[in-house]
Amino acid sequence: MRLIALVAASLLAAIAPLTTALAAAKPTVLITGANRGIGLELVRQYSARDWKIIATARDPAGATELQALAKVDPDITIEKLDVTDHAAVDALATKYKDQPIDVLLSNAAKTPRYMSAMKGAATIDYEEARNSFEINALGPAKLIADFLPHVQKSDQKKIAVISSKAGSFAESPKMSMMYEYRTSKAALNMIVYTLSYETAKKGVTIAAISPGSVDTKPVEGELGFGTNFKQPGVIPPAESVAGIIRVIDGLTPAQNGQFLDYKDGRVIPW
Ligand SMILES: NC(=O)c1ccc[n+]([C@@H]2O[C@H](COP(=O)([O-])OP(=O)(O)OC[C@H]3O[C@@H](n4cnc5c(N)ncnc54)[C@H](OP(=O)(O)O)[C@@H]3O)[C@@H](O)[C@H]2O)c1
């Protein structure tokens, strides 16, 4: 009996470094705005792929679906983060200073559910516009500036920034709408483009990605179209995220600083 215990113990000791090495070999992704919508689905799919996930949310206590995922996957760590709180971004970056991050995924945004979204310039909500710029453009800039060293020391060295065609001069709808959101995403695109000159020097690849039109809205008709309105071409989060991850998987340094479509990695003109 004692002999069996001894053999078992030495076997365990022999494979322990192997299991640790395997655990260490798991790539790590950090995802902002991970409590709902596309962010939550990103967590689901990276979890299914057995990645280590740092999932941030403004209100971890209220992030019940994210918590449920973390309960069954010990590789999901939930962190509190409002991307406009620069001291909090600094603190999180310091907390993870020794953690290589293979994919930094900036997803969080103020999305256009406010009532001025589909109206003209006379109804621009300037407070909303300022918030959108803080959250959608400056937030990702600060996040990337702080976490670039973590990405640089990883194996994959990728930064994916979820943007929107709404911020593209070439492909946004040819109509007056969403001044607040569109300008914030156009600013974000320029931030990605500008950052790419820094990332290139560090062996890191950064790309903006359009997720398509995704059904993440909890209530139809919130934008004032009435409850029967169905936006044409809208896809479920699972389809968008499968595409986003495919594009990130295939990301090469040649795509540094580009704006890519979730569907096939096509370059979207700015
Ligand atoms: N859905 C689409 O059709 C579509 C189309 C084009 C681009 N996108 C882009 O795709 C990304 C995800 O969109 P979505 O539809 O999933 O949006 P969503 O359902 O509105 O979710 C937005 C996420 O961002 C978080 N967030 C908002 N302000 C934040 C802040 N200051 N700090 C940290 N997190 C914050 C939200 O957290 P709270 O729950 O705390 O508010 C939430 O987790 C966004 O970048 C969006 O612009 C979406």
In a domain, 150, yes or no: yes
Both tokens of 209, joined, read: 């990605």
- 8 assigned to some structural domain: no
Identify the pLDDT of residue 18. 46
Q: Assess if residue 6 is contained within a domain.
A: no
pLDDT digit string (tens) for 221-244?
A: 555 555 555 567 889 999 999 999
The answer as to whether 2 is a domain residue is no
User: Does 229 reside within a domain?
Assistant: yes
Q: Please state, in angstroms and rounded to a whole number, the distance separating the CA atoms of residues 5 and 104.
A: 45
Residue 118 lies in a domain: yes
* φ and ψ of 253, to 5 deg: -55, -25
Q: Is residue 217 part of a domain?
A: yes
Q: Taking each helix axis from N to C terminus, what angle separates 237-249 and 37-48, rounded to the nearest 10 degrees?
A: 60
Report CA(20)–ligand 1 centroid distance (Å).
Answer: 35
Instruction: Point out the ligand 1 atom lying closest to the alpha carbon of residue 81.
Output: 33
Q: Given a cut of 80, is residue 118 above it in pLDDT?
A: no
Q: What pTM was estimated for this model as a whole?
A: 0.90
Q: Whose CA is nearest to atom 42 of ligand 1?
A: 33
Range of the structural domain that residue 144 is part of: 26-261
Q: What is the CATH number of the domain that holds 51?
A: 3.40.50.720
Task: Decide: residue 239, CB within 10 A, 0-12 exposed, 13-18 middle, 19+ buried.
Answer: middle
Q: Quick: pLDDT tens for 95-105.
A: 999 999 999 99
pLDDT tens, 238-263? 999 999 999 999 999 999 999 999 99
Q: How far is the CA of 96 from the centre of ligand 1 (A)?
A: 23
Write the residue with the smallest CA distance to atom 44 of ligand 1: 109
Q: How many domains does the chain have?
A: 1
169 has pLDDT over 70: yes
Does 19 fall in a domain?
Answer: no
Mean local confidence (pLDDT), 55-74 = 98
* Mean pLDDT, residues 3-13: 52
